[in-house]
Amino acid sequence: MKVPANILVATDFSDNADTALDYAVALAHKLDAKIHLLNVIGLPISGYAGESETDLSSLLAGNQQELDRLASSHASQALFGPTLLKVANARDVYDLIDTTATEVDADLIVMGTHARSGISRLLHGSVAESVVRTALCPVLVIRAA
């Protein structure tokens, strides 16, 4: 078994994602691994549903700022690579996570799950479940208590 040296952490800035990041930071610290922090903005298939291109620019800037804040707040506990912000079609978020894992040579993907079930799962889908099924490296899914 290969000990992870590169860990990709996918975040949507939810409490579950924060829990997963904390877990990944502790793991990276113990394994002397590097964390690559990723946020994928999933846009509706018909395009951005906001009022203007300025709204999208504001969203991108805000998410980048939050990524940088998260990495900075954990920098004393683990080594971080550059933060990664990407935009995808809402249905392709999991695919972009998989692609990014390959790009950063991730040995492990860590992400939170909302653990939806029933109608909510049918309507929103499960990005974590899709990543587990399609990723080329192991995936650790953290469910917040």
C-alpha–C-alpha distance, residues 117 and 94, integer Å: 18
> For residue 81, what are the β-bridge partners?
none
Using CA atoms in the order 132, 134, 138, 143, what is the torsion angle rounded to 10 degrees? -20
Q: Which domains does the chain have, with CATH numbers?
A: 6-143 (3.40.50.620)
For residue 54, the model assigns a pLDDT of: 72
Q: 3-state class of 1 per DSSP?
A: coil
One DSSP character per residue, 58-81 reads: HHHHHHHHHHHHHHHHHTTTSEE-
> Between residues 89 and 144, which one has the greater pLDDT?
89
* pLDDT class of 102 with cuts at 50, 70, 90: very high
Could you read off the pLDDT of 57-83 as tens digits, one per residue? Answer: 898 999 999 999 999 999 999 999 999
Spatial contact of 16 and 141, defined as CB atoms under 8 Å apart: no
